[in-house]
Amino acid sequence: MKEQIAMIQIGQKIDDFIDDSEFEVYQNDEIKKVKFSNYEGKWLVLLFYAADFTFICPTELQEAAEYYDEFKKEGAEILSVSTDTVFVHKAWHDNSPSIAKIGYPMVADATARLLKALDIHDNSIGRSAEEILRKLQAASFVRQHQGEVCPASWKPGKKTLKPGLDLVGKI
């Protein structure tokens, strides 16, 4: 029998997705246990990555660190997640100038309980924190403005669309 994998949906409360048990994080030279409920009322950006001590992952995580204040302005918290332990996160943080810049929590998911990724790409291609921030801003906008949608490459302050009213050409 195949095991069913629960997939979180945008806008779904995370405690609906997985039980609210504790998990370990490494943050600001501290190892601690947290729950998803610690972040209640915030957007959560879960950055799943392959492993510590890799080549592309630190570029993504460092870029996310550079945008961290912007994410917080949007009411979001970043959690980077890999199957490494908090001790490996600490060792990476202590030995990598790129990772030393990270101020957000680094989640240890050694049993792959959380690790479910939807952004599928080749491991040799890095993701853009700026694009993830743009998607967060769009998700926040459409939550606050029912009936409006954000077109491709939309950024705050740009034109949105109202389905059924805005047409893309005529037949």
Q: What's the pLDDT band for 55 if we cut at 50, 70, 90?
A: confident
Which of 25, 45, 47, 57 is flagged as catalytic? Answer: 57
Q: Minimum mean pLDDT among 42-46, 86-90, 96-100: which range?
A: 42-46
Q: What's the pLDDT band for 14 if we cut at 50, 70, 90?
A: low
57 classed as catalytic:
yes
Q: Tell me the CATH number of domain 14-127, given options 1.10.3720.10, 3.40.50.2300, 3.20.20.150, 3.40.30.10.
A: 3.40.30.10
Mean pLDDT, residues 8-18 taken together? 63
| Full strand arrangement of the beta sheet holding 76-82 | 30-34, 23-27, 106-108, 76-82, 43-48
What are the tens digits of pLDDT across the range 32-44?
Answer: 999 888 998 999 8
Alpha helices in 76-170 (DSSP H): 86-95, 129-144
With beta carbons less than 8 A apart as the criterion, state whether 20 and 36 touch.
yes
Mean pLDDT, residues 80-92 taken together? 96
Q: What pLDDT score was predicted for residue 21? A: 79
Mean pLDDT, residues 102-128 taken together? 81
Q: Please indicate whether residue 119 or residue 129 has the higher confidence score (pLDDT).
A: 129
Domain ranges of the chain: 14-127
